[in-house]
Amino acid sequence: MTEQHTSAPMTGEAPSTGVPPVPGVPPVPGVPPVPGVPPVPDHPPVVAPVRGRKDRRVPRGVLRWTVAVVAFAVAGASTAYGVTQMKRTDVPGLATRSDGRWDYPAIVRPPLPAGSPAPFADANKGTSHYADLRGLVLPAPKGAKPDKRLRGDHGWLTTKVFLSEYATKEDRAALADTLRDRGLRHIAARGWTMPDGTRTRIYLLQFDTGLVAGRVQEEQFTDYTTPVRDLRGAPLALLDETFPEAAKTAHVSHHVYVEPRPYGAEQVRQAYLTAGDVLALVVQSRKGGAKKIPFQQTVVLQEQLLD
């Protein structure tokens, strides 16, 4: 069975209730008329006075309509204020492009071979990804310039290119031995550079089972507060406590780190993901500082592809 995730268009328009607006009161953007309340006429009803008796009905009628109009105006204004004061991410359907996120294409998982279970199905005891690993690498966003160095041979990257991310010769040698001994099967990768200079590199390493991938991650790559091995350009990296844990997917664990100030020519952000038999590394770097929002967006989307 083919699993597909697509990004559905979102809109912030409220459904129409069919109730006309209140005359004389300007409509409040984003606030529909109150259902079940009849429209207010342009003028209050005129009642003929009764002779010989002091008529109080006209002033009372005017007062009732005035109070109603004021009440609707206040209620509408209060609702609009509530919406505009909320965070963009708290308002369902409201676009948030202006927060710095990138324009990614629709995310679609590659098809599973006939008869193969999904990675986290009950029948899949090894939590293995049977889909083509190359199709599980996050595609580049709009405006990105591809990194030709990470294209590999027919989409398969050599271990040497992956190890070049690490700073010291000793770490590269130790990792090479571990990956060989643990039976690394494939490395798929993709990289790109955005117009603002942000460089992204994503690596997916596939092992025989989820148990093996988890052990490699714990022994060779991550600790709670810092990564086990330094990346090039990031001699110090600390746990990124600003990463939104609410965005975490069900079957993917992550360790997210950020290079603190003062950093060198570039700031580096990195995340290790473990999803069944796949161990992933996501790296973003940028001169003057790697921005938080596109990094978080990239990590979350890659998690969703592996989940």
Extract the tokens encoding 160: 């040497």
| Mean pLDDT over the full length of the chain | 80
Q: What is the pLDDT of residues 40-59, one digit of tens each?
A: 455 455 544 444 444 444 44
Q: Which residues of 109-132 are buried (b: 16+ CB within 10 A; e: fewer)?
A: bbebeeebebbbeeebeebbbbbe
CA distances from 304 to 77, 115, 242 (A): 39, 22, 19
Q: Where are the beta strands (DSSP E) in the chain?
A: 145-146, 186-193, 199-206, 238-239, 253-258, 266-275, 278-287
Spatial neighbors of 132 by CB under 8 A, at least 6 apart, are 110
Do residues 222 and 228 touch, judged by C-beta distance below 8 A?
yes
Q: What is the mean pLDDT of residues 15-33?
A: 48
User: Is the pLDDT assigned to residue 19 strictly greater than 90?
Assistant: no
pTM comes to 0.70
Can you list the alpha helix ranges (DSSP code H) found in the chain?
57-85, 159-163, 169-181, 210-216, 292-306
Q: What is the pLDDT of residues 54-84, one digit of tens each?
A: 444 444 444 444 444 444 344 443 333 233 3
Can you list the alpha helix ranges (DSSP code H) found in 3-109?
57-85
